[in-house]
Structure 1
Amino acid sequence: MMRSLWSAASGMKGQQVSVDTIANNLANVNTTAYKSQSTQFKTLLYQTMQSTSTNGQGETKPTSAQVGLGTRVASINANFTQGSQLAKDSPTAMCIIGNGFFAVEDGDETHYTRNGDFTWALDDGGNKVLTTSEGYKVLDQAGRPITVPNTVEKGFTVNPDDASISYQNPDGTYTNTGQSIALYQFTNRVGLDKIGENLYDETAASGEPMGEWNTQGVNRSSIAQNYLEGSNVNVADEMVSLIIAQRAYEMNSKAITTSDTMLEQANNLKR
C-alpha cells in the first residue's frame, strides 16, 4: 500500500514541474525570440513481485510481475521552431530566418542568442558598437565587435544572404565595413545551456558552435533587417497542456487520498 503513496507523490511532483514550465512559457509569450519548453517524464525503478518466472507447474510464464514506483522529470526540452516575423522601425532590428544564432561578447565569454533586438553604444574610441539591450557586443565572423563610425546616422544595412555590413555616406554612396555578422549553428541545439536574458551557452551535449560561413553541409540562415523574431509560444496549446497537467495532479492527489483511506480501514480491522 505504501508504494501507491510514494508513486502518486512522485506524480504530483512531476506535474508541478510541468505546470512551472507552462507558466514560464506563458510569461514569455511576448519575449523576443523566446523558445517554448516542454517537460518530459520517465518511469522510476520497477519492483519485482515474484522472484521466479514460472507457474505452479514449473512452466515459464509469458509475462513478469513487476510494479512501477512512480515517475520523475527526465528533461525540459526547448522547441526551436521559427517564431513569427515582427516588423520594427529600427535598422538594428534583425530576425534570423533559419537555425543560426548570433554571438555576443560578455567580457571574456561568448554567448549565443536568437534575439536580434540590437542597438548602438559608443566604445572607447568613439565609434558606434552594435550591442544587445544589456550591453553585450555583437560579434562578426572574425570574433570582433561590429563597429561603424560615429558619424553614421542612417543607411546602416545588412546583406540578408552573407550578413555583410554597409553604411551610407553623406553623398549617398555606401561603404562596406569589411565585417559580416557571425551566425553559428549547433549539432544539438536542444542541448544548449539557458543562462537567462535570452542567452545560451554551448555544452558537451550541444556540441561546438559551427560558423555558417565556413562549415560544409550547413543550411545557411538569412537575416531580415527591420524585423524581430517573435516568441513561438502558442497560448492555446499551453492552456490545453495546463489543463492536462492540472487533471493529472488531481488524479495523483486522489490516489494518495484513496490509499490513505484504505490504510485507515486496514488499521480499523483490529478494533
Structure 2
Amino acid sequence: MQGFLESASAILAQSERRVETAAQNVSNVATPGYKRKVDFAELVQGSTTLSSFADLKAGKEVETGSMTDLAITGDGFFAVKSGDETLYTRHGQLRRDGEGRLVTEAGMALQGADGGDIAIGEGAFEIGSDGTVLQNGSPVARIAITGFADLAMLDDAGGGLLRAAAGASGEPASGTIRQGAYEASNVSTGDEMVTIMESLRRAESAQRLTSPRPACSRRSGRWTSSPTISPISTRPPSSGRRCASRSWCRRHRPRAARPGRRRRRG
C-alpha cells in the first residue's frame, strides 16, 4: 500500500512539473530565439525523476527590414557577453547602444570572431552572410557564429540563452547570417496546451487513487468516508442505494418482488 501511495504522489509531482514547464514555454512564445523546454523522465537511484532540456530546433524567421535584426540560417549561435561570462543564443533582435555596440534587449554585447564586442559607428552598415560588418564599403568587424560538436553540452540559462558546460569548447559553425530578420521562438502554443491538458488528466487520476472512497454504514445506512484506497470513483451512485464497491449491502438489499395478481377478463 505504501508503494502505491508513493507512485501516485510521484505522478502528481511530475504532472505539476510538466504543467509549469509548458506554462513557461507559452509565456515565452513571443521571445525571439527562445527554445522550448522539454521534460523527460529518468531513473535515478531507483526512483523516477523529471529532467529538462532545451529543444534547439530552429524557429521561423521573421522579416523586419531593420539593420540591427539578424538571423542565423543553419547551425550556430551568436555569442554575447554577460559580465565576464559568455553565453550563446539565436536571439538576433539587437539594437545599437550609446557606445555603438550591437547589444541584446538585456544589454549583452554581441561578440566578434576576435573575441571583442561588435562596435559600429554612426550611419548605415551592412552585414554579409559570413558575418562581416561593412560600413562605408570597408570591413569594420566580423560577427562570430559559434557551434558545438555536442549540443548536449549546452544548458538552458533562461530567456533564450544557453550556457556551455565546463569543458565544452565552441568552434566556427557553418551557418550564415541574414540581415533584416530575426528568428522567432520554436514554441507551438497548441502543443503546449495539449501537454497541459494531458498532465491535468494524469494528476486528476492520481488524485482519485489517493482519495478515500465512501462506504455505506450498516447501522445508519448513511455514506461515510472509508480510509480504503480504491481507484473507483468517489461519487456515490445516483440512486443512493449501492455502496462504492458496487455490491448491495445488507441494509440496502432489494426486497423480493411480490407476485402481482392478474385480473380476469369477464
Cα deviations by residue, 1:185-204 (Å, 9 ceiling, x for unpaired): 12332442222332221104
Deviation, structure 1 residue 44:
6.5
Q: TM-score, normalised on structure 2? A: 0.76
* Matched residue, 2:131: 163
CA distance in 1, matches of 2:142, 2:198: 46
CA distance in 1, matches of 2:191, 2:144: 34
Q: Closer, same or farther in 2 for the Cα pair 1:93/1:249, shift >3 Å?
A: same
Q: Closer, same or farther in 2 for the Cα pair 1:4/1:22, shift >3 Å?
A: same
Correspondent of 1:153 among 123, 129, 132: 123
Correspondent of 2:156 among 190, 194, 201: 194
Matched, 1:175 2:138: yes
Matched, 1:113 2:89: yes
User: Is the partner of 1:223 in helix, strand or coil?
Assistant: strand
Structure with greater proportional helix content:
1
Is the CA contact 1:141–1:182 (under 8 Å) kept in the aligned structure 2?
A: yes
Point out the more displaced range, 230-239 or 102-111: 102-111
* Matched residue, 1:143: 115
Deviation, structure 1 residue 22:
0.5
Q: How many residues align?
A: 219
Deviation, structure 1 residue 261:
3.9
Is the CA contact 2:72–2:183 (under 8 Å) kept in the aligned structure 1?
A: yes
> Cα RMSD over matched residues?
2.3
Question: Which letter does structure 1 place at the counterpart of 2:49?
Answer: R
* Matched residue, 2:189: 235
Deviation, structure 1 residue 15:
0.9
5+ residue gaps, structure 1, are 47-69, 169-173, 213-219, 266-271
Deviation, structure 1 residue 258:
5.6
Is the CA contact 1:85–1:227 (under 8 Å) kept in the aligned structure 2?
A: yes
Matched, 1:92 2:68: yes
User: Is the partner of 2:97 in helix, strand or coil?
Assistant: strand
CA distance in 1, matches of 2:110, 2:127: 13
Correspondence list, 1:6-21, <5 A: 6-21=6-21
Q: TM-score, normalised on structure 1? A: 0.74
Cα deviations by residue, 1:77-96 (Å, 9 ceiling, x for unpaired): 21111101111131010011
CA distance in 1, matches of 2:208, 2:150: 40
Deviation, structure 1 residue 233:
0.8
Correspondence list, 1:1-271, <5 A: 1-43=1-43, 71-73=48-50, 75-123=51-99, 128-149=100-121, 152-154=122-124, 156-160=125-129, 162-168=130-136, 174-177=137-140, 179-204=141-166, 207-212=168-173, 220-257=174-211, 261-262=227-228
The runs of at least 4 consecutive aligned structure 1 residues that moved more than 6 Å come to none
User: Is the partner of 2:12 in helix, strand or coil?
Assistant: helix
Cα deviations by residue, 1:32-87 (Å, 9 ceiling, x for unpaired): 111111110135666xxxxxxxxxxxxxxxxxxxxxxx6321x2121111101111
Is the CA contact 2:210–2:229 (under 8 Å) kept in the aligned structure 1?
A: no
Question: Which letter does structure 1 place at the counterpart of 2:113?
Answer: Q
Is the CA contact 1:11–1:71 (under 8 Å) kept in the aligned structure 2?
A: no
Deviation, structure 1 residue 263:
5.5
User: Is the partner of 1:187 in helix, strand or coil?
Assistant: coil
Question: Which letter does structure 2 place at the counterpart of 1:229?
Answer: E
CA distance in 2, matches of 1:180, 1:85: 22
Q: Which protein, 1 or 2, shows the higher relative CO under an 8 Å CA cutoff with sep ≥ 6?
A: 1
How much identity, in percent, do the aligned residues show?
A: 28
Is the CA contact 2:144–2:172 (under 8 Å) kept in the aligned structure 1?
A: yes
* Matched residue, 1:53: none
User: Is the partner of 2:67 in helix, strand or coil?
Assistant: coil
Point out the more displaced range, 36-45 or 1-10: 36-45
